[in-house]
Structure 1
Amino acid sequence: MAELKLLGSWPSPFSYRVIWALKLKGIPYEYIDEDLSNKSPLLLQHNPVYKKIPVLLHAGKPICESLIILEYIEELWPQNPLLPFDPLQRAIARFWVKFADDKIPAMWIVYRSSGKEQEKAMKDTVEMLRVIEEHALGSKKFFGGEEIGIVDIAFGQIAEWLGVIEEIVGVKLLEDHTFPRLHAWILNFKEVPVIRDNLPDHHEMFVVFKSLRREILLSSSQDQ
């Protein structure tokens, strides 16, 4: 197998999308943790457009953007498939991956904003959760059935990072009684060994993200 390296950042949910996919498929790789406050020449060389993680280096060739990397991994290593075989089901899975990409940013706006902007982001986040609860999960254990797939990975940050955001901001958006299917999915998702063994430490994330939020809000107030 050609050399495989992953440039990521330990608290980034987008890095974990790739980590989970590689682990689920049993693909060995070297992980390189990036300091995003002092980006390495390697990262800047291989993602000169966005200068962001994650970047997967396969035989020295870069693949950027987490969801594009997942598709690349799926096409190159078909074992333990992340997408269904049926073309219609594949299309449905890609629909929900696109939904995740479009809607999940709302929960990060909750994290980095305040006032009316934050209030709107909270409403948008709850609406996202409602749509997932009512239209995406159904009665299935995971989004695609009995096994984790690409949609679970795309929504994975709801399972851990949303809780950190709620703690920092002091709100509760994902109420167990309001979203029982999502609550059950989170428990099932985090019980899978590959996921359970490859999650960032909750307390460490809380400390880092709380400090970063303080800096973001301070910078925002100074710009006004």
Structure 2
Amino acid sequence: MLRIRNVSAGYAGIAVLHGVSLHVGQGETVCLVGANGAGKSTLLQVVSGLIRPFSGELRFEDADLTTLPPHRIVAAGLVQVPEARELFPSMTVRENLDLGAFALRRAAQAEIRANRARLLELFPVLGQRLEQKAGTLSGGEQQMLAIARALMAKPRLLILDEPSLGLAPLVIKEIFRTLTELRQEGLTILLVEQNALAAMRISDRAYVLQAGRMLLSGTSEELQGNDDFRRAYLGRDYKAKWER
């Protein structure tokens, strides 16, 4: 579904990514892990059309992403939940959700309302906050709204950039429960996450990005058996944590 081949990219002519390759198949959940500064967010900005690559190929199904502007990429079915959430704080929860359906503006209003209703079942707390301004929500509620807004566009591939960042453990558990449910429904997901343990639990495959280059890749099971990966990203007691 998404194929990235030998992509190099960066800022002001200075490369951050060096020949990165990655693919996500339909129905898969794939996670991308790496330390701060590894280039994860830069790669997502390239995929979303916010940064043009210096070289390489990016394709989403039959679309060449290197030539499409961001709004056309969203319309093609590839939607990102950014790390900073990028909500409209002075607008209500309802208004933020409705803006997520902008790419579906030709769809019937009944279809948009039905999609909103389904998402409010997925995130019940948002149903209690519909007329509340987004900027007054808690961090966890804002993250749920950011995910729900992206889902309003009915993506075929959902990309999430650090969805657990700065959230309390119970909220993180709820976010990943929701992602598991979306995965079970067949949604294709690319998950960028520093919480490698949580990400690996719900992923089919994983990639490790280090200093702008792909260091490791494999199934979640394979990487759990890799000593370097375990030491760097899972910790010594990962087995005990995994079983919780």
Which TM-score band applies after superposition, normalised by the shorter structure?
Answer: 0.3 to 0.5
The TM-score, its normalising length taken from structure 1, stands at: 0.35
Structure with the higher fraction of residues in helix conformation: 1
**Which is richer in strand?**
2
Question: What TM-score do the two structures reach when normalised by structure 2?
Answer: 0.33
